[in-house]
A and B are shown apart, each in its own frame.
Chain A
Amino acid sequence: DAGVTQSPTHLIKTRGQQVTLRCSPKSGHDTVSWYQQALGQGPQFIFQYYEEEERQRGNFPDRFSGHQFPNYSSELNVNALLLGDSALYLCASSLEQEDYEQYFGPGTRLTVT
C-alpha cells in the first residue's frame, strides 16, 4: 500500500518565478491538505482540497493556489516567488470524514534564491 508521495523532492527557483508541486494521496484517501514548514517551525496550513474544490484555506496570499484531480492527486502552485517562500512543503492525505487523521508525505524542499 503506497503512502503519500510528493514530487519533486528538492527544487531551486529564482525570485519571481512560478513553481508547481505535486502530491499523490495514500490509497483510498480522498482529501488532500497542504502545509508550509519553514525552518525551525511547525507546519502551517495552506489549504485543503476535497471533491476537486478548495474547502478551507489558511492565512496565505492568493499567490498560493492549488488543484485536485479526479484521481484525488493534487498540485500546489506558487506564483511570483519570494525569498520567504523557501520552506518544506508537506502534503497530507486523509478521509473526508476523518480528516483530522492525516498521513504526511516526505515533502518538497523549495529554495528560492
Chain B
Amino acid sequence: AQSVTQLDSQVPVFEEAPVELRCNYSSSVSVYLFWYVQYPNQGLQLLLKYLSGSTLVKGINGFEAEFNKSQTSFHLRKPSVHISDTAEYFCAVSDPIIPGGYQKVTFGTGTKLQVIP
C-alpha cells in the first residue's frame, strides 16, 4: 500500500532564503510523484510531477523537486522564497498507469510554509 510522509507540519523561513520541504513515500511498485500547493480557502494546484526520466523536476513558481529512489524521497526546493509562497504544500504519490484501471492518489498531511518578511 502507498503512503506519504511529510516530516514537517510547519516550516518558517525568511523572505529570499532557500527552503526545502521534505517528503518520503512508501510503495511496493514504481510510482508517480506530485507536489501540490493550496492557498488559503482555495483548492489544490499542481506545482510539479515526476513520472519518469530525469530525477530533477522543475515546476511552476520557481520550485523544483528531486526524486531519490534509494531514499524513497521527493523533496521540494526553492532557492529564494517570496511572501506569496506562503501556503500549504502537499506531496502525493500514485501508481503508474494500469490500462482501464484506476490510479489511486495518496496525499501527505501537508506542510505549511510561512514566509517571514
Contact A48 B102 (CB under 8 A): yes
B52 at the interface (CB under 8 A from A): no
Check if B43 sits within 8 Å of A105, measured CB to CB: yes
Q: Chain A nearest CB: distance from B29 CB in Å?
A: 13
* B94 adjacent to A100 (CB under 8 Å): yes
- Segment of B56-64, B70-78, B106-114 engaged in the interface with chain A: B106-114
Determine whether the beta carbon of A106 is less than 8 Å from that of B42. yes
B17 within 8 A of A: no
Q: Is the CB of B104 within 8 A of A56?
A: yes
Identify the B interface with A (CB < 8 A): 4, 32, 34, 36, 41-46, 49, 90, 92, 94-95, 97, 99, 102-110
Given contacts A42-B109, A106-B43, 9 further A-B pairs with CB under 8 A are A43-B44, A43-B107, A44-B107, A45-B105, A99-B103, A100-B103, A102-B46, A102-B105, A104-B36
**4 A-B pairs with the lowest CB-CB distances in the bound complex, closest first:** A42-B107, A104-B43, A100-B94, A56-B102
- Chain A interface (Cβ < 8 Å from any Cβ of B): 4, 6, 33, 40-45, 48, 55-56, 90, 92, 97-107, 109
